Structure 1
């Protein structure tokens, strides 16, 4: 069962989403919130697997700020940004804030259900037009002789974990330093390795050195 928290400032939207999601036997809406601060508190109380977060909430904390803060408090939670903005800037900002994906409010119901299922499994999800634009930007960057810097996709916590890995600390030692569980450290490590497209600790150490995370670089 995928436990879902809905965070949207429109009660009618939340009601519609709740009715839709609860018809799926593998999903359950366990809570609702009308703005970011309330969403963070509800997430800490209800421990959902997935938070469906509205991007624009004018009253209270907005979706991007709430996503960034919630990922620091609950690194294991998967956040799917719900937005009406089919805009590249919002997409990159959502990813940098720690969201697992973005989906348009205008998307078909079947796409929303598929997106929630994907992010609940720890996968990333981007709506088709966003994926197309990302590929176009990547290919354009490659033609210009450089690739996008994947370091910018890492959350602040993932950068902390990367730095400690590069300094030679074990997962247990990292957990003790950051006051988190070993499992959470492993989750961060898996996420940053996926984002950086790396498979070994030596690769991470070399990358951290190049980025100057140890105070000196290669």
Structure 2
């Protein structure tokens, strides 16, 4: 691949490792950084062909914000997300959708540099064909409402608290949680065990070990 690449990742060690890996494969990394605004300005000048982005860039704009800005500059730019989140909605339920043709990789799924290189190549093809909704590695079968309920349950909110936030009855939340559990293949032993399993699924989806949030 001779295409120019920009890398936007706010963790310095991860960014350095990623850039070194890409350059070892002969790729031209023309910009590397952790700032959304700097990346957009650099892309305007450097005109990269592919952007490899983290989803969470700290406070302020997200990787999706960067991706949408880059696509406005250049509708043909390939977009690859390399993130710890199994689903972008776990970062923020109100995120705008990623641009069409986006390639979405979780860091745990990248077992070799070949996986990343393949996604970068696919991003160029995908950006040149008719728009299509991106396929997420997991949780794409859950609705936005179910994902938000999953997040709130994992954060320890009671059914009553979630119902108050939603301006609905508690029974409605119970039904939503039951649907989420069924979609995730979680059996209904007791309500408490079910919520614990839902929380574990959520934290694993964030790339956290079971003990990281305790």
Higher share of residues assigned helix? 1
Length-normalised TM-score, structure 1: 0.52
CA distance in 1, matches of 2:57, 2:126: 26
SS at match of 1:112: helix
| 1:35–1:59 contact (8 Å) kept in structure 2 | no
- Aligned length in residues: 133
Deviations along 1:53-112, one digit per CA (max 9) or x if unpaired, are 110011442212222222222222111112101126369988823151211122223211
- Corresponding residue for residue 51 of structure 2: 51
Larger RCO (CA within 8 A; separation ≥ 6) = 2
Structure 2: gaps (5+ residues): 143-214
| 2:55–2:88 contact (8 Å) kept in structure 1 | no
CA distance in 2, matches of 1:30, 1:58: 22
SS at match of 1:96: coil
- Corresponding residue for residue 24 of structure 1: 25
Q: Rate the CA distance shift 1:94–1:22 in 2: closer, same or farther, 3 A.
A: farther
| 1:82–1:105 contact (8 Å) kept in structure 2 | yes
Alignment counterpart, residue 124 of structure 2, candidates 120, 126, 137:
120
Runs of 4+ in 1 over 2 A off after TM superposition: 87-97, 120-127
| 1:9–1:33 contact (8 Å) kept in structure 2 | yes
- Corresponding residue for residue 102 of structure 1: 104
Please give the root-mean-square deviation of Cα atoms over the aligned residues, in Å: 2.9
1:15 Cα deviation after fit: 0.9
After the TM superposition, which residues 68-147 of structure 1 pair with which residues of structure 2 at under 5 Å, given as runs?
68-87=68-87, 89=89, 96-98=97-99, 100-106=102-108, 107-109=110-112, 110-122=114-126, 126=135, 129-130=137-138, 134=140
Length-normalised TM-score, structure 2: 0.53
Q: Rate the CA distance shift 1:51–1:94 in 2: closer, same or farther, 3 A.
A: farther
1:121 Cα deviation after fit: 3.0
